Amino acid sequence: MTSFSDYDYALFFAVIIVVLFVGFISFIWRKPKTMEDITEWGLGGRRFGTVVVWFLLGGDMYTAYTLIAVPGVAGGSGALAMFAITYGIMIYPIVYLMMPRLWTVSKKRNYITVGDFVRDRFSSPFLALLIALTGVLAELPYLALQIVSIGYVMQAIFLPVTISLIIAFLLVAAFTFLSGMRAPALTAIIKDAIVWGVVLTIVIYVPIHYGGFANIFSTASAYTKTTKTFTPLDMPPTLALGYVTLALGSALALFLYPHGITGTLGSKDVRTIKRNASLLPLYNVLLLIVAILGVAAVVANGGVFGTKGQPATSFAFPYLIKDLFPSTFTALAYAAIVVGSVVPASIMALASANLLTRNVYVQYINKNATSAQQALLSRFLVIVVIVAALIFSLTPAANGYVIYLQTFGGAFILQTLPAVYLALYTRKFSKYSIGIGWFIGLSSTLYLLYLLNFSGSLYKPFDFIYVGIFSLILNVVTVLIVHLISLVMHKVKDEGIIDNSELASEF
Amino acid sequence: MNGFIKGILLLLPYIFMVLGFDIYNRVNPQLGGLPFFYWYQLVWIFIAAILTFTVYLVESKEYERKKVNS
């Protein structure tokens, strides 16, 4: 392990500054007539093609948190980290089935958020409010996690963590304020070039250094003797249900998150989305590589991460790089992790701001807000959201829990599934059945998390089932029961103003 | 291609990943030093992408044909 020279620090900061600079000037990219427009600022004018959307969604979903957490899980638990790949495989058929329909009706009716769709589909501003607020609440810990993740990098190179994070994310807020969705789209291209370059270099070097993957896995599996919870080769059968429900739940949840939906709505046509459903899976290869690198980190470290006397799991990836590579490459790799947080932080804040503007402000406070007023409000809300996430991530009390909060966020956002995915295919269910289902699903999620002392999301008495999936099942059953009751009572009213034909995509 | 077949093609990854867990949760046979659990899923990343792409190509062709006929 070599320490950073001044030159290495300079390289580290240079890369970050270039990416932030691009964020600031990206408002001139495909410059619109005016940026004082919610579609232009908030969705980049709905003009992004296949390549840009690939980078944007890739940068949006495969984040700094991913680069820290996936190797972290691998370095602490082993094969469990592969759940991220299992889940990655299951994401894209959903994207293919759902997003073209949502995009088509959003384009037709100029929707900016999924709340707009829910409002019209059920003729219920209140249901839209509930769905929008669930989205914002689930998004906040995810955003905070990006901040916490790069804190580990700052710590590994002895930078003052708190002040560095505050400066970095206020700059992200500022360029998002200025450039809107063009900023994450353009910075994503640079970010991905660096991240792919760094990860591919590491994955070529690491097996050569250790004499092949077989050596890495056999050396790592020896640690199972001393740490029983570390199983690098496969999963303990007791966790089968937990593993598959967590993967399935995460896959169903990803494109219910505001950042997933907003990124997709920025596409220029249905073809762009459908093509990306086949192209985005390439990122899963990157994810698989970093999972394996997490196992290699145990070998490099000479011990399982997160056990007694060993570094925290989140250090697995940063320390592997530090242990094996010259400091100049390490500087570049760390910079890559930091810029990996910029794109998602920007789009997550923007997506949350859009929800608050459209489904709280416009629906409840000022029904006649112009597009320019909405864009202006969203801009300021971006700053509010990022500051909230900063406070959240820097509070010592919240810090220990923030990792858990993300899996909780997934369980919460899953409860919006009937209001979005079901509603994209059928208008049979009324706002009452969907709303009551949402309430039961959310209550059940909260109650089970409470039973778990908010320290995990797999529920042991039910064979370690993922809390989110368990609650979603209750949620959907409730929707069906309420629907049946209202059928019997002849109280079914179809109030939505969106006709099914408006959802059918061009092909 | 009718909707049913398209649906099956898109659902296959779920059947194999969720219901097939016991099939891929094993160490051997290894490939290139990777345990089965890892390389099997690596292969599935590509199978899933190809399945989605197949449905896309078919729908795209059907759409073009419809446009020519109308």
Average the pLDDT over each of A234-248, A402-416, A424-438 and give the range with the smallest value. A402-416
Closest CA to A257 of A343, A128, A186, A355: A355
Of residues A397 and A241, the one with the higher pLDDT is A241
CATH assignment at residue A278: 1.20.1730.10
Instruction: Write out residues 99-128 of A within 8 Å (CB-CB) of B.
Output: none
Average pLDDT over residues A298-314: 87
CA atoms within 13 A on the CB side of A100: 20
Residue A364: exposure state from Cβ atoms within 10 A (0-12, 13-18, ≥19): exposed
For residue B30, give the nearest of A90, A214, A506 by CB distance.
A214
Q: Tally C-beta pairs within 8 A across A and B.
A: 109
- Examine residue A167 and state whether it is found in any structural domain, yes or no: yes
- Using an 8 Å CB-CB cutoff, list chain A residues near B4: none
Residue A267 region by backbone torsions, left for phi larger than 0, else alpha for psi between -120 and 50, else beta = beta
- Examine residue A103 and state whether it is found in any structural domain, yes or no: yes
Average pLDDT over residues A480-486: 93
Res A121 pLDDT > 50: yes
| Separation in Å, CA of B42 to nearest CA in chain A | 7
User: pLDDT by residue (tens digit) across A256-265?
Assistant: 999 999 989 9
| Separation in Å, CA of B40 to nearest CA in chain A | 10
Average pLDDT, chain A: 89
- Examine residue A491 and state whether it is found in any structural domain, yes or no: no
B40–A contact, CB cutoff 8 A: no
User: pLDDT by residue (tens digit) across A442-464?
Assistant: 999 999 988 887 777 888 888 88
A292–B contact, CB cutoff 8 A: yes
- Using an 8 Å CB-CB cutoff, list chain A residues near B34: 213, 217, 292
Write down the pLDDT at residue A1: 47
Average pLDDT over residues B5-11: 90
Write down the pLDDT at residue A400: 56
For residue B60, give the nearest of A237, A240, A507 by CB distance.
A507
Average the pLDDT over each of A53-62, A344-353, A416-425 and give the range with the smallest value. A53-62
- Is there a contact between A278 and B52 if contact means CB atoms under 8 Å apart? yes
Average pLDDT over residues B50-56: 94
Q: What percent of chain A has pLDDT over 70?
A: 98
Write down the pLDDT at residue A401: 59
Structural domain of A356: 16-402
Q: What is the DSSP string of A421-454?
A: IIHHH---S-HHHHHHHHHHHHHHHHHHHHHTTT
Res A397 pLDDT > 70: no
Q: Which amino acid is present at A132?
A: A
Write down the pLDDT at residue A302: 86
- Using an 8 Å CB-CB cutoff, list chain B residues near A212: 33
Res A403 pLDDT > 70: no
- Examine residue A462 and state whether it is found in any structural domain, yes or no: no
The phi, psi pair for A459, rounded to 5°, reads -95, 110
Task: Record the tokens describing residue B69, joined without a space.
Answer: 């006929």
| Separation in Å, CA of A240 to nearest CA in chain B | 7
- Using an 8 Å CB-CB cutoff, list chain A residues near B26: 234
Q: Which amino acid is present at A388?
A: A
Sorted by where each begins, the domain ranges of chain B are 3-69
**How many other C-beta atoms are found inside a 10 Å radius of the C-beta of residue A228?**
9
Res B10 pLDDT > 70: yes
Say if residues B63 and A507 touch (Cβ distance below 8 Å): yes
For residue B48, give the nearest of A237, A244, A281 by CB distance.
A281
- Is there a contact between A248 and B18 if contact means CB atoms under 8 Å apart? yes
Q: What percent of chain A has pLDDT over 90?
A: 49
Say if residues A423 and A461 touch (Cβ distance below 8 Å): no
Say if residues A324 and A209 touch (Cβ distance below 8 Å): yes
- Examine residue A487 and state whether it is found in any structural domain, yes or no: no
pTM of the model: 0.92
Res A470 pLDDT > 90: yes
Write down the pLDDT at residue A207: 87
Res A298 pLDDT > 80: yes
User: pLDDT by residue (tens digit) across B25-43?
Assistant: 999 898 988 999 999 999 9
| ipTM, 2 dp | 0.93
- Examine residue A231 and state whether it is found in any structural domain, yes or no: yes
- Examine residue A160 and state whether it is found in any structural domain, yes or no: yes
Total number of domains constituting chain A: 1
Closest CA to A477 of A429, A410, A408: A429
